[in-house]
Amino acid sequence: MKMASEQKSHIISALVLNKPGVLQRVAGLFTRRGFNIESITVGTSEQEGIARITIISKGDSKVLEQITKQLNKIIDVIKVRDLDPEKTVERELCLIKVHCPTERVRSEVIQYINIFRGRIIDVSPETLTVEITGEPNKIEALIDLVKTFGIKEIARTGPTAISRGIKTI
């Protein structure tokens, strides 16, 4: 009896030429192949004219192999790598607007924000807007805590990642 391969999250880092249409071609590849993108971040890299795309996608080893092979076929893709979670620095930015109708609630929310090393970036008479960066599970934990007060809005970047040490992609 053949065992099914384990579905797990993969952090795929790709260096690409920083020009119009590259992101569309990368996203289109996932659409055509039926692979889901859980998260995608794009930004300039340390090299002029080169961007780094970080994609989080779930699948077994065969899916990962297909994604890597197909990305490498795109002419504007320079290098693709599946980052080992044990050897990766991963961070996400999240903005959370929390309902704070009373001073007691505001005080309690501020305590949570301080514990999670977040920052208050905006204050209105009935809300606090919080900025938090860190690993996705840290962000989820803060969201779970402040959910009881009422979350008005959330904006998340999705994780971005690089490998630890001197090895680069």
The pLDDT tens digits along the chain (169 residues) read 445 557 788 899 999 999 999 999 999 998 888 888 999 999 998 899 999 999 999 888 888 888 899 899 999 999 999 998 888 888 999 999 999 999 999 999 999 999 999 999 999 999 999 999 999 899 999 999 999 999 999 999 988 888 888 765 5
Runs of H (alpha helix) within 74-118: 103-115
Q: Give dist(CA 120, CA 112) in Å, integer.
A: 11
Q: Give dist(CA 51, CA 77) in Å, integer.
A: 10
Q: Give dist(CA 59, CA 156) in Å, integer.
A: 23
| Residue 166 vs residues 1, 80, 126, 161: alpha-carbon distances, Å | 43, 17, 46, 14
Q: Give dist(CA 110, CA 114) in Å, integer.
A: 6
| CA 59 remoteness from chain centre | 17
Token digits of residue 40? 């995608």
Q: Which residues contact 49 (CB under 8 A, 6 or more apart)?
A: 17, 18
